Amino acid sequence: MADQKPQVSEFIRQAEAQVLEHLADEAFGVSELAAALHMSRSNLLRKIRKDAGLSASQFIRRIRLDQSLEMLREGNLTISEISYQVGFGSTSYFIKCFREQYGYPPGEASKTGKLQPSPAPQGVFKPQWKLVLGALVLMAGLILVFYLKAPREPGVTLEKSIAVLPFKNLSSDSSNAYFVNGLMESTLNNLQKIEDLRVISRTSVEQYRNTDKSIPEIAGELDVNYFVEGSGQKVGNQVLLHIQLIEVSGDRPIWSEQYNREVGDIFALQNEVARKIADAIKANVTPDELQQIQKKPTENLVAYDYYLRGVARISERTAEGLEASIPLFKKAIEEDPEFALAYANTAVAYFFMDQDKREKQYTEELNHYADNALLYDSRSDVGLIAKALYYMQIQDYRLALPYLEKALEYNPNSSSAINILADYYARIIPNTSKYLEYALKGIRLDKAPGDSISRSYTYLHLSNALVQSGFVDEALTYIEKSLAYNPQNPYSPLLNIYIRYAKHQDLERMSGMLLREWQKDTTRLDILQELAKSYYFRRDFDSAYIYYDKFVRARESGGLDIYPQEDIKIGLVYQKQGLQQQAEELYQSYDRYCERDASIYKSASTAVKYAREGRYDAAIAQLQAFSREDNIQYWMLLFMELDPHMEPLQSHPDYPGVIRAIQDRFWENHRVLRTKLQEQGLL
């Protein structure tokens, strides 16, 4: 017996090989494994359960975790790097799974004497384990049973993260689906008001409405520890609801209840469900949060019915759905003229109907309904967001900010407020640290829908936020994910080129990559001017002129007012070609840009202008002012000193000190930001 080896089926060997081949691919799950093995999903689940004694998702996760243990013991990579290399999209979820699997955190995996690989399920062995004595097989099986069935260790506190899955409509009348969906929506909204919880957004859970995925599989994708499942029906004046709270680690309900209430008791029912769920996972609910949860949206059930129908239509996220939702919300308002949520959602619908139009048609309606929403409920997060959207529509951005911040105060899990704030600090009032903070918060609440295009843009957005704050390696991880999900994403390749420049700082390589990218689509003026600029930084003014001239001609012929901040660079290139008049026109354009620049980069832009004019002391003074700015983009450190306009300043006695001051301030802010984000569990 001692010489016998564990029997490993050929099927398990093939399945394990496929997982290892796709180890770093977060999206490689049960369906992908079934496709790779050329078999149906149901056959795969049955075969793995029979041969390995595990579910398919457990089988995949076990292989990933065992590989991570080997990497951790080698000690060459960080926990974050390893988590992504073994296919975990979230470091925090990786740490959670690792601790549950091995009984200690991954940070202890390099300590000798304590750690052993996980007990292998039947038939799943790493190559180096093939010499294990057959007598240990039974022990491994016994240990496996312990791991699978043992209760959570005393003292281990799970993060209070929760997803409310779409409720199932059990009504024979399918037209009642909106009512059951409304029960789910209300449960979600009530839980979102509790700051001690992390509640996944509605759009993220909607993708699982008709899924056949298991709870552990969904938990891995959403990175949560608890689920709310429900089913219900409306029969006449009665509401029948079955609801349960599931703890993922044990895949078991920890609270379950059935309700049979009259429709008139619907608000009390919704409040009771939220309180019992919070109690079951020991969430801290403040008196103020409890008051918000207990607030009735309306006393008029007819109005509430119209409102739920409107929510169902606006949630379709289509032009037809938006248009159809407005009369339903207005009927709700006719029934209850003080129905704040109906006003707020009407305003939001008007905003999105105008969103892609150059000439806005509904600005007054947007303002009117947002104001009424806040008149009847000044603490409505949807009403506050609606008012912020009004100010953004009229481009009075600074007035929008306090409404967004207040909305997040009243609803700490509002993915809408968080995502708008991320865009606000990325595009409108640039602030790299806030941009990154909100982007990270957003991705924890608003998990990308299942389609690869949406996931690609989500990771693109986060990668951009990371690199702007100097987190280059993390940005590289997410831009690779973005490209993997959608290689045709038009923006990810460009950001990828710049992140790789930040990593290697090879200008020649960057020029080559930009040229190849532009040749794929020569109408892309954004890539064209970046290509020209790369030659400009290399002092290859002849090549820079070829591409800048194409850019300028296209800009003029299209009547486009884009990239005015680049005109001083283009001017120098034209000047080098002897085109003095065109150069002067470009310099004057840049001067006008500096005059109207209200951003934190104004002093840096003005320093370049003064350097060109030979006003070196004034340029240094502007750089000194810039050295006191916070939250600047990392690109400033990478490219400022490469600018040919800055060359004359390099002989100024104060130049080295001011450049060092800019760099030191950036990296100190980077250090503080990293600590803050790690303390918040965001990084």
Structural domains of the chain in order of their starting residue, each with its CATH number: 10-149 (1.10.10.60), 161-296 (3.40.50.10610), 310-429 (1.25.40.10), 456-677 (1.25.40.10)
Residue 682 is predicted with a pLDDT of 80
For every residue of 478-507, DSSP letters joined together read HHHHHHHH-TT-SSHHHHHHHHHHHHH--H
CA 78 vs CA 71, 72, 106, 304: distances in Å = 9, 8, 10, 52
Residue 526 is predicted with a pLDDT of 93
Assess contact for 383 and 373: CB atoms under 8 A.
yes
* CA pair distance 426, 438, nearest whole angstrom: 10
**Closest listed residue to residue 448, CA positions, set 420, 412, 482, 473:** 482
The tokens for 144 are 């496996």
Alpha-helix residue ranges (DSSP H) falling in 132-176: 136-149
Residue 25 is predicted with a pLDDT of 81
* CA pair distance 123, 519, nearest whole angstrom: 51
By the 10 Å C-beta count (0-12 exposed, 13-18 middle, 19+ buried), 605 is classed as middle
Q: Helix, strand or coil for residue 400?
A: helix
Question: Which regions of the chain are under pLDDT 70?
Answer: 1-8, 42, 89-93, 96, 110-158, 172-176, 448-451
CA 221 vs CA 208, 413, 510: distances in Å = 11, 18, 35
Residue 1 is predicted with a pLDDT of 38
Which phi and psi (to 5°) does residue 168 adopt? -90, 135
Q: What is the pTM of this model?
A: 0.65
The tokens for 345 are 């959602």
Residue 5 is predicted with a pLDDT of 41
The tokens for 342 are 């109906």
* CA pair distance 341, 298, nearest whole angstrom: 9
Assess contact for 277 and 255: CB atoms under 8 A.
yes
Assess contact for 219 and 162: CB atoms under 8 A.
no
Assess contact for 114 and 104: CB atoms under 8 A.
yes
Which residues are CB-contacts of 5 (< 8 A; sequence separation ≥ 6)?
130, 132, 134
Residue 180 is predicted with a pLDDT of 77
The tokens for 378 are 């000044």
Strand partners, 262: 238
The tokens for 33 are 């494994």
Which residues are CB-contacts of 530 (< 8 A; sequence separation ≥ 6)?
494, 514
Strand partners, 241: 232, 259
Assess contact for 476 and 499: CB atoms under 8 A.
yes
The tokens for 18 are 């496929």
Q: Max CA-CA distance within the chain?
A: 92
CA 217 vs CA 33, 55, 57, 99, 381: distances in Å = 13, 10, 6, 18, 32
* CA pair distance 197, 284, nearest whole angstrom: 8
For 157-181, what is each residue's pLDDT tens digit? 567 889 998 888 787 666 667 777 7
Q: How far is CA 227 from the centre of its chain?
A: 20
